[in-house]
Structure 1
Amino acid sequence: MALLKFEDSSHAASKAADWPDLGTVDSRGARLFDARPAYRRLTVVADAELVDAVDSDPWSPKYLLNGLLTHNFVTLYRYADDGPPGNVPWHVFPNGAKHPLGWVLADVQAAHQVRNIIYTNSPHSFTYTGITGNRVEAAERDVSSTAYRSLPSDEARRRREADAIAVLAAECVQADLFITERPYLFENSVSKQHGVTVCSLADALALVGLYLRAQSQYVLIQSPSGTFPLVGSKLGYFWVGARELLPEVWRWGAAFGQIKNDELQGLALSAIERIRRALIKRDELNISLQSYHGNNAVSEVITALDELLVGCMGAIDVTARVAHDVLGVSGRSSNAGWQRSGWLRDVARANQSVADLVQPGGHQAHVLKILTAMRNTVHAEVLQGAMHQSGDGSQEPLVRLPPGEAQDIVTAMDATGGRAHWGVKQEIQYASYVDPQRFVEAALPAVIALLNLIMKTVPVDKMPGVHLAPQDCLPPAGDSWQNSFAEQKRQSIRWQLGL
């Protein structure tokens, strides 16, 4: 699971705004209250072998990432230790200088501790800068690193040197992202400098997807050449994303459609809608972490988290009402709830397997406890937060666990991945806090897994009049552009969501 977070660039050189021509983005024309994109272009440096896909390549995360990097809001530079391959054309500038457009070149033969960096994405000019200081030499000497440990010492030293030059070249370009699979850069602080976020191909997909959605660009499919873009709406993008994350809901929808039960069908659709809204709030939380500072960041993050928790709990409550009706449990369905012991006893009499889904002490019961305790602040004191300053001087917004429930929440977290997995921080000022992003990246997949398990276990196929074939439990077949649930569209959205 990627943490959708760019490195803090507040101490890096100021990056100038570079607005794209909006006329090339939306041909429908401007409406009165349309806004300009909120942020400058995303600047990306990538190891060339990760961004060399062509239109004829098979569909894959690499293919999609290459397409997204051609978007008008993104500036891409390629990098290779040995420079570009021989088939890359070099542009000749008026002064006679030559340079391949869209490439970053590092002159590693320069004098000791000064390595020249040249880059351009324009046919009119290029930038000449360089790496200074001793960070490359420090990487060469870093024998404590586990990266390349299986290689001979001279080769391992050479690899660490090359990796350090690569990421520092990205720093010279003032890149936001450096897309790479170099193991040394994922374990060493040389890559955590000056606002450059080092990420794998999969994490880059999630970060680029988040950036584009922040610009209201919901790209479904785009080829590596930048042609044939398929862009969706916000509503459709997150609706398809929610259904892709809840594949068991196809089974529910087919069963309730066969018996023409509009109420149960509406409840199933409500579960999807709740998760759709939760996904949007997840985006808002992640964007707030990039956009706001101080108390404004705390306020925006808590607002998004609060609504996300309500959406997740609402989806789980909906499945309890469906289970109540499908199993024929006595009493009113409005009293159904997976956290209610009395209702679960009634469920056990009807179907023990369904009741066992949230048996006390089990994994799902712990997940439910965490979600319920965090969400129940809607009935009590609102979620509270604070800015916390780390030892390195950076600040981050934290969310306080509800005081009366904190110990039970932490105990449940210990049983479901551990405190670090859920983003628990040590007690600060006699209260327990969580990193809101880590909490959401743990909680949302856990909730989705619980929902799918419930939908799979509740025996809708045993209802009178229901006769499900295997294809009834799958998305509509076909890969045409008109099929909103075509496999490529669903995969694209899931990869971009990082879930």
Structure 2
Amino acid sequence: MLLMVAGQIAWCWPIGAMIEIVCHPANLTRIVCGMRFNSSSDRRRRPGFAWPDDASDDARELFEPRPPLRKLVVQVDHEILVDDSSSWSKEALLSGLLTHPYVQVVRYADGGPPPSAARITSPWSGEHAPGWAVLHQRHEDGEVRGFTTGDEQSVSEHAIYGNSALIARNDRNHPAYGSLAPDEALKRREADVLGARVAEEISADLYITRRDYLSGEAKYRAKNVLLCTPGEALPLLGLYLRRQGVFIYFRGVDGKFQYRCSRRLYFFTGALELLPSMWRWSTAFGQYAIAANDDTLPALSSSLVQRVERALQSRDELFTALNMHGNRDSTDDALRSLDTALIFLMGALDASARAVHRVLGISVTPRNAGWQSRNWLDRVAISAPKLAAIFDEGSEAQHLLEILRKFRNSVHGEALSPLTVKEGSDPERILVSLPREDLQAILNSMDALGGRDAWGVESHWDNRMHAEPGALLGETLERVVAVLNRIMQETPVESLPDVHVTPAQCTPPNDPSGRYSDMKREGIRWQLGF
């Protein structure tokens, strides 16, 4: 199917953009796996958790599910939120997403709500600010601090007990606020901990803050609350909304307007953001398909994107399983999602080899096309030596392919097995075994690609080697998309008959309201953690 766009004929999927972006696919991996949500078994039971009222805004179908997750409870420092959507930024997107009805937000500030915040006065409870947690003064006879929360219908009184504020005041060796006078640093440390204690008492899932004492390697360890910066919160919030079936790339900070899309378009756009070189391929293959009346190359390029897209969906499923309390079902979900994602990433590399095979006109059957085949690479090197050199012996791409192939081949032999690890007060972690038959080859390649720590490799039992699934997938995804982009950049698509790719065709369509507008691509990319 062909489309006429701006007077030019293009193939039916005007794919991606050849733009200079910095993609970090592992960012969400490090956030979600290094800063996990708290499992239900670790949280205090309280009746305040709420569930979304509605399934969706669409007409009800028999098999349309209700939202599977309860509302996300978020405490956020008021100064982080922005009140103007016209200035597009991560903070504006975060502020808009926090207005979604599936999210329950409690605002907080050291000095309480600003004068502009709405107030409700009741003869029974006095004045309160709906949607706010308001801290009271410390009792003169101790460390007890009260605070108030409420909405339009009710008010709740809470109390903070213990000596956490005292400990923070006396923590003079902590690097936070080291440039301030001692008395001012003391007050800031205490204020920071009190904010975290409020989040603990209201059983918040997230506390979004930039407070120095609550961040960094020596950060305060909150009980049952995930402390995160705005940059860390955005992909976590995006993951939660996607698991609720919500796929939006913009929502106004007042919550009155949003842009939504299908799940397929959401992940398809996310995959294209990882593959900016695909725009050049798509343009060239579309031109060739028209001239030769052969749609094989466009089909292969679309298949490549589709496999990365499905790997991203499997990544979401993996993160969901890793953030659940460890049991047989969640462990099985994690291993299945990891297997699926790795197979799709290997499939993307295979599809790229088939496409290169046709572009170069290699005479042997396409079944022999594969970056792991030295005979086939020798044929590639005849007309595209730089392309073949990507997979030279000892190269990063060759080591990556070795790891990915060995994991894929495990489906033919001993299945990957799980191991649950519990260390101190940290949440349980799920690890996955490395294939024993190919263990040394995998470890050697990991050592050549940043070291075993980067791949999440650990040894805990009987000297067997295991890896943290999120770190393993994150490192693999990051390196696979980098190799795919190099392959597309070095493929001489201009050698195809009747193909003439101009620089203008290697950039996104200049249409702010178009399918791949800057706002849409950025909103989706940020939520995916890139």
TM-score (norm 1): 0.94
Aligned equivalent of 2:420, options 382, 387, 393: 387
Q: What residue number does 1:366 align with?
A: 399
Q: CA deviation at 1:200?
A: 1.3
Match of 2:225 among 174, 196, 202: 196
Partner of 1:135: 164
1:290 paired residue number = 323
Tell me how far 1:431 sits from its aligned partner.
Answer: 0.9
Match of 1:10, SS state, is helix
Alignment match of 1:29 (pick from 24, 46, 59)? 59
Percent identity over paired residues: 38
Among 477, 482, 489, the alignment partner of 1:456 is: 489
Alignment of 1:136-151 (within 5 A): 136-151=165-180
Matched, 1:49 2:82: no
CA distance in 2, matches of 1:8, 1:291: 6
Which structure 2 residue ranges, 5 or more long, are not aligned?
Answer: 1-26
Task: Please point out which of 234, 250, 253 is paired with 1:224.
Answer: 253
Count of matched residue positions in the alignment of Structure 1 and Structure 2: 493
1:281 aligns to 2:321 (yes or no):
no
Q: Give 2:95's match in structure 1, choosing from 52, 60, 66.
A: 66
Q: Which residue of 1 aligns with 2:275?
A: 246
**Alignment match, 1:272:** 305
Confirm whether residue 467 of structure 1 aligns to residue 496 of structure 2: no
CA contact (8 A) 1:302 1:383 kept: yes
Q: Describe the shift of the 1:396–1:110 C-alpha distance in structure 2 as closer, same or farther (beyond 3 A).
A: same
Distance 1:36 1:20 in 2: 9
Report how far residue 108 of structure 1 moved.
Answer: 4.2
Q: Residue deviations 1:149-184, cap 9 Å, x none?
A: 233333322222111111111111111001111232
Task: State the AA in 1 paired with 2:498.
Answer: G
Question: CA, structure 1 residues 408+153, in 2 after alignment: closer, same or farther (shift >3 Å)?
Answer: farther
SS at match of 2:403: helix
Residue aligning to 1:302 = 335
Give RMSD over aligned pairs: 1.9
- 2:483 is paired with a residue whose SS is helix
217-226 or 400-409, which deviates more: 400-409
Query: Would you say the 8 A contact 2:125–2:155 is kept in 1?
Result: no
* Residue equivalent to 2:364: 331
| CA offsets 1:345-380 (integer angstroms, 9 cap, x no match) | 222222221111122222222222222222221222
Whole-angstrom distance in 1 between the partners of 2:123 and 2:364: 83
TM-score (norm 2): 0.89
Q: Partner of 1:75: helix, strand, or coil?
A: strand
Q: Residue 234 of structure 1 aligns with which residue? A: 263
Residue type of the alignment partner of 1:119: T
CA distance in 2 between partners of 1:161 and 1:440 (Å): 39
Q: CA shift at 1:37, angstroms?
A: 1.3
Whether the 8 Å contact between 1:139 and 1:190 is mirrored in structure 2 is: no
Give distance in 1, aligned partners of 2:258 and 2:400. 40
**Counterparts of 2:121 and 2:447, CA distance in 1:** 61
**In structure 2, what residue type is equivalent to 1:381?**
E
* Paired position in structure 2 for 1:488: 519
Local SS of the residue matching 2:42: coil
2:115 pairs with 1:89: no
| SS in structure 2 of the partner of residue 43 of structure 1 | strand
C-alpha contact (below 8 Å) 1:11/1:194 kept by paired residues: no
Distance 1:15 1:379 in 2: 47
Query: Partners of 2:171 and 2:438 in 1: how far apart?
Result: 45
Q: Could you tell me which of 52, 64, 72 is aligned with 1:20?
A: 52
Evaluate the alpha carbon distance shift between residue 50 and residue 258 of structure 1 in structure 2; reply closer, same or farther with a 3 A threshold: same
Q: Which residue of 2 aligns with 1:6?
A: 37
| Contact 2:130/2:152 (8 A) holds in 1 | yes
What corresponds to 1:340 in structure 2?
373
Once the two structures are superposed, residues 200-227 of structure 1 have per-residue CA deviations (whole angstroms, 9 ceiling, x without a partner) of 1121111111111111111121100001
Measured in 2, the distance between the counterparts of 1:92 and 1:237 equals: 44
Indicate if the aligned counterparts of 1:243 and 1:272 stay in contact, CA closer than 8 A. Answer: yes
What SS does the corresponding residue of 1:20 show, helix, strand or coil?
coil
Alignment partners' CA distance in 2, 1:212 and 1:339: 39
Q: CA deviation at 1:15?
A: 4.4
Query: Which secondary structure state, in structure 2, belongs to the residue aligned with residue 118 of structure 1?
Result: strand
Unaligned runs of 5+ in 1: none
Decide whether aligned partners of structure 1 residues 382 and 96 sit closer, same or farther in structure 2, where only a CA change above 3 A counts: closer
Q: Give deviations 1:413-442, integer Å, cap 9, x for gaps.
A: 233233222211224222111111122222
Counterpart of 2:175, as a letter, is T
